[in-house]
Structure 1
Amino acid sequence: MTKGESGSVVPQEAHRDAAPLQGKVAIVTGAASGLGRASATALARAGARVVVADLDAQGGREVADMVDGHFRACDVSDLDANRALVEFTQERYGGVDIALLNAGVATGCGVGEDFDPARYRRAMGANLDGVVFGTHAVLPAMRARGGGSIVATASLAGLAAVPLDPLYAANKHAVVGLARSLGPALAPQNVRFNAVCPGFAESRIIDHLRDMLAEQGLPVIPAEAVADTVLRIVTGDGTGECWFVQAGREPEPFRFRNVPGPAEPAGL
């Protein structure tokens, strides 16, 4: 891929056939910045035609122009908006093969005196409902294409306890649970469902944490490193996996311990 005169990411003709996602159509939510922007770029470079979805119209259009794709404003916490996004993609490109359900927000409150029901609903709406609604909306389109790949952006907060932000941990744990459960459930339909679980990665979500991260010497993961992992997941063959992305480590599926089974009755 090279950048055209307009700055868009376009394939070199000599390498079209080598692009692993040539002919595929991708939706990326939360694509106006951060992880979504980097992932939309990576998917386009791999040959996919990309629909950029976000509430940030200016940023979203900039990314859509960059990847030679289309922009669609979408509030992922609204089921009908997700359905409209899929319909828009089908009208523009004829179908959907890949969905990166990436849109997310910081929680901004806890469960004590700082609890704010509106902020709680906003976070759950974007971080969890957006994945559930997006999956529901895109499944018929993927079935019509004979299958597809769904990747949800979770977090290391979905793999570990986060005492400083339990509500964020709750919705990200839910996304991890969806990935582990929907992976095998959707496999008979030839639809793969996986999650990517980055640590502190370059995005707007960590804006309120930047000073703390700098003080503690914690590295911020480049958005491109997460995008590369998304591309590995999409071009792979796994399902029900939750790939961690951590600074200084090679990304790979997280290995969960098995839950203990029931004990046999005494004397048997």
Structure 2
Amino acid sequence: MSAAESGVAAPRGEHTDGAPLRGKVAIVTGGASGLGRASALALAEAGARVVVADLDARGGREVADLVGGHFRACDVSDLDANRALVDFAQEQFGGVDIALLNAGVATGCGVGEDFDPARYRRAMGANLDGVVFGTHAVLPALRARGGGSIVATASLAGLAAVPLDPLYGANKHAVVGLTRSLGPALAQENVRFNAVCPGFAESRIIDPLREMLSAQQLPVIPAEVVADTVLRIVTGDGTGECWFIQPGREPEPFRFRSVPGPGKPVGV
């Protein structure tokens, strides 16, 4: 059983000599629970020093203590808060090499009579702005280290239709599009940008769906499976990839079909 599976990370400085992330510094947003917590543990077990960011101070500090790292309260929908988070990581550990932009929320409304502008802005602020702002804030720090890795938590909702929460699908599709575009754009700077796209995974975001998932006998993906995929991405060499994660399947980059090229003019 790994430290991530047991819920206890190896203490800082006691990783094996083969730890692939020894000497690296990672920021994990939404790190107080669920996918962020599991990923912080996995990154620490691999040797990284971790800064845990979340609005949940109690949970965030608990995870930071487990990984021998630091906690920073951060509202990812605020650009200045993202900048302050990166500054904090640099002050504590001397730099940043990895950013897992994981914070996210469900929308809780649609576009019809139930539309709620406040809920819409909250979801877009966390799920899309949090990735854009986090990327903008961390890029100078990665460049200062000669490159690095950014991983955004998207969702299977970014690869398929989501009738139950179309606005969630919209912002997750945006993260997927950003990933596919920024991957090659940042490659020349030795900065890799990828995304994880899990189906229903163990996190607070599925709490309202648990009864439905159970009734339909739909398995919930353990958070550790997502964390292991994040680790594979960070220690790999791909960029612009969106890794799908589904029960019973090996996680791998989703293979997008090419857009059809221009056809012949009509009448030619």
Q: Which category describes the TM-score, using the shorter chain as reference length? A: over 0.9
SS at match of 1:174: helix
Structure 1 residue 164 displacement after superposition: 1.2
Q: Which residue of 2 aligns with 1:10?
A: 11
| Matching residue's letter, 2:227 | A
Structure 1 residue 266 displacement after superposition: 5.1
Write out per-residue CA displacement over residues 186-209 of structure 1, whole angstroms, 9 at most, x where no aligned residue.
001100000000000000000000
Structure 1 residue 265 displacement after superposition: 2.8
Gapped regions of structure 1 (runs ≥ 5): none
Contact 1:28–1:40 under 8 Å retained in 2: yes
CA–CA separation in structure 2 for the residues paired with 1:11 and 1:18: 14
Contact 2:196–2:244 under 8 Å retained in 1: yes
SS at match of 1:112: coil
Q: Which residue of 2 aligns with 1:137?
A: 137
| Matching residue's letter, 1:17 | D
Q: Which residue of 2 aligns with 1:246?
A: 246
Structure 1 residue 267 displacement after superposition: 6.7
Distance 1:11 1:79, change over 3 A: closer
Distance 1:84 1:11, change over 3 A: closer
The within-5 A match list for 1:21-60 is: 21-60=21-60
The within-5 A match list for 1:102-141 is: 102-141=102-141
CA–CA separation in structure 2 for the residues paired with 1:41 and 1:152: 17
CA–CA separation in structure 2 for the residues paired with 1:11 and 1:122: 35
CA–CA separation in structure 1 for the residues paired with 2:108 and 2:233: 30
Q: Which residue of 2 aligns with 1:86?
A: 86
Q: Which residue of 1 aligns with 2:150?
A: 150
CA–CA separation in structure 2 for the residues paired with 1:17 and 1:97: 19
Q: Which residue of 1 aligns with 2:95?
A: 95
Larger CA deviation: 148-157 vs 16-25: 16-25
Structure 1 residue 223 displacement after superposition: 0.2
The within-5 A match list for 1:92-241 is: 92-241=92-241
What TM-score results when the alignment is normalised by the length of structure 1? 0.96
Distance 1:97 1:12, change over 3 A: closer
Contact 1:150–1:194 under 8 Å retained in 2: yes
Larger CA deviation: 21-30 vs 257-266: 257-266
Write out per-residue CA displacement over residues 44-96 of structure 1, whole angstroms, 9 at most, x where no aligned residue.
00000000000000000000000000000000000000000000000000000
CA–CA separation in structure 1 for the residues paired with 2:42 and 2:171: 26
SS at match of 1:189: coil
Structure 1 residue 16 displacement after superposition: 3.5
| Matching residue's letter, 2:211 | D
| Matching residue's letter, 1:245 | I
CA–CA separation in structure 2 for the residues paired with 1:8 and 1:45: 6
What is the aligned-residue RMSD (CA, Å)?
1.5
Gapped regions of structure 2 (runs ≥ 5): none
What TM-score results when the alignment is normalised by the length of structure 2? 0.96
SS at match of 2:41: helix
Structure 1 residue 10 displacement after superposition: 1.5
CA–CA separation in structure 2 for the residues paired with 1:12 and 1:134: 28
Contact 2:12–2:68 under 8 Å retained in 1: no
CA–CA separation in structure 1 for the residues paired with 2:163 and 2:208: 16
SS at match of 1:256: coil
Structure 1 residue 111 displacement after superposition: 0.4
Structure 1 residue 8 displacement after superposition: 5.5
Structure 1 residue 177 displacement after superposition: 0.3
CA–CA separation in structure 1 for the residues paired with 2:84 and 2:267: 60
